């Protein structure tokens, strides 16, 4: 009663505060529910809104190419590095996770293991590899290190084996040996099977081009002879051979191919290119190219050749050059002279 005398209504004040408190609580709960709904919507949109993509296969590819392919799929790389057995693998993707073909959400991280090249402080594993490939590997490896240089001891030791000719059978130092400075690598290389034989193809009646195509499938020596075509014979055709087609010979034997002189167009000279190669314990890649006066080059033949005399008929413009290379290294070049008729005209 006293409060009313002073103009205050206590009961009304309590009702007023209760109503506003309930309103405040309702408003707060509403805001929280609204924010929660927005958060859930954002979450489900983030989880379910991203498109599924298929992981591309980037194993064995250069890192730059791999990153481009991942970017096209809206995937991101997670990169690790490790040493590999070959210096030629430097910068190449060795492994990936998830595997190629896996369906994942866009913006997923793909783990890539990248080769940082050969470990320069240990000897590589060359067993079972071809000696020609090993030369390239060691050259690449030596270019990466100025302190630990590997030198191949030549001539190599060879032995007959069921392994393909040129395959490394043993090495010293052993694979994984620690290296602290320059080292000489000793290799035992397969000479191939001692009693390996081949069947001589039938070349009689074939053109020079077809004959060379057959010879590129063999790994034996061959020799050409050449004479002018007789009546009824076509220029540039095999008229006889020794041994005859179908004969079985030792793989280290030779085939003699008798050819009529190829036809020469105006300004061309027909002849027989001849060069004696060093004898090798197993066939090595030999390439013969023609360099034309205008600067163009054309491959005439590419064979695995065991060495000894190498002959090749040709018909080329005067002023050309015949270039013989072994294992991609030029070892001999011969100029092609102008035809006799052209020389005689110049002398008049």
> Lowest-pLDDT range, 113-117, 148-152, 180-184?
113-117
Pairing type for strands 284-291 and 321-326 reads antiparallel
Residue 198's nearest CA partner among 244, 240, 247, 242 is 247
Classify burial at 6, counting beta carbons within 10 Å of its beta carbon; exposed 0-12, middle 13-18, buried 19 or more.
Answer: exposed
* Dist CA 69 CA 52 (whole Å): 16
Q: How does residue 116 score in pLDDT terms, banded at 50, 70 and 90?
A: confident
* Dist CA 98 CA 81 (whole Å): 17
C-alpha distances (whole Å) from 62 to each of 67, 93, 119, 218, 221 are 9, 6, 19, 35, 40
280 CB-near residues (< 8 Å, 6+ apart): 306, 307
pLDDT over 50 (residue 343): no
Buried b (16+ CB within 10 A) or exposed e, 109-142: ebebbbbebbbbeebbebeebbbeebeebbebbb
**Cβ atoms within 10 Å of 47's Cβ, excluding its own:** 9
Predicted pLDDT at 185: 95
Provide the terminal-to-terminal Cα distance of the chain, rounded to the nearest Å: 151
Give me the percent of the chain exceeding a pLDDT of 70.
86
pLDDT over 80 (residue 344): no
For residues 208 and 121, the model is more confident at 208
Q: Is the pTM of this model over 0.85?
A: no
pLDDT over 70 (residue 76): yes
* Dist CA 315 CA 295 (whole Å): 17
**What stretches of 124-227 show up as alpha helix (H) in DSSP?**
131-144, 208-215
| CATH fold of the domain at 197-346 | Trypsin Inhibitor V; Chain A (3.30.10)
Q: What is the DSSP letter of 69?
A: H
Q: How does residue 43 score in pLDDT terms, banded at 50, 70 and 90?
A: low
Structure tokens at 54: 């298929």
CATH second-level architecture of 52-118? Answer: 2-Layer Sandwich (3.30)
């Amino acid at each position: 009663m006293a409060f009313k005398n002073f103009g205050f209504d206590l009961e009304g004040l309590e009702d007023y505060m209760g109503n506003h408190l309930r309103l405040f609580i309702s408003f707060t709960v509403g805001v929280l529910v609204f924010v929660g709904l927005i958060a859930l919507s954002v979450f489900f949109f983030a989880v379910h809104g991203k498109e599924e993509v298929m992981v591309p296969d980037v194993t064995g590819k250069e890192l730059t190419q791999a990153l481009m392919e991942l970017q096209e799929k809206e995937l991101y790389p997670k990169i690790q590095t490790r040493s590999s057995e070959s210096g030629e693998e430097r910068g190449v993707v060795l492994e990936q996770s998830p595997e190629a073909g896996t369906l994942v959400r866009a913006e997923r991280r793909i783990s890539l293991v990248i080769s940082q090249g050969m470990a320069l402080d240990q000897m590589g594993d060359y067993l079972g590899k071809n000696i020609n490939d090993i030369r390239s590997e060691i050259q690449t490896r030596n270019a990466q290190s100025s302190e630990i240089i590997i030198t191949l001891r030549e001539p190599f030791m060879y032995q007959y084996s069921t392994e393909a000719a040129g395959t490394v059978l043993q090495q010293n130092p052993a694979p994984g040996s620690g290296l602290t400075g320059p080292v000489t690598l000793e290799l035992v290389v397969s000479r191939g099977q001692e009693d390996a034989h081949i069947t001589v193809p039938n070349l009689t009646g074939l053109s020079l081009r077809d004959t060379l195509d057959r010879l590129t499938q063999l790994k034996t020596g061959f020799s050409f002879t050449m004479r002018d075509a007789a009546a009824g014979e076509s220029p540039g055709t095999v008229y006889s051979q020794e041994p005859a087609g179908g004969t079985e010979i030792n793989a280290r034997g030779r085939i003699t191919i008798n050819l009529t002189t190829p036809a020469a167009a105006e300004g061309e000279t027909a002849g027989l290119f001849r060069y004696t190669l060093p004898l090798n314990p197993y066939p090595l890649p030999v390439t013969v190219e023609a360099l034309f006066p205008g600067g163009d080059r054309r491959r005439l033949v590419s064979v695995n050749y065991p060495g000894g005399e190498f002959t090749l008929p040709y018909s080329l413009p005067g002023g050309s050059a015949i270039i013989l290379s072994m294992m991609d290294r030029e070892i001999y070049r011969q100029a092609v002279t102008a035809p006799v008729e052209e020389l005689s005209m110049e002398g008049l």
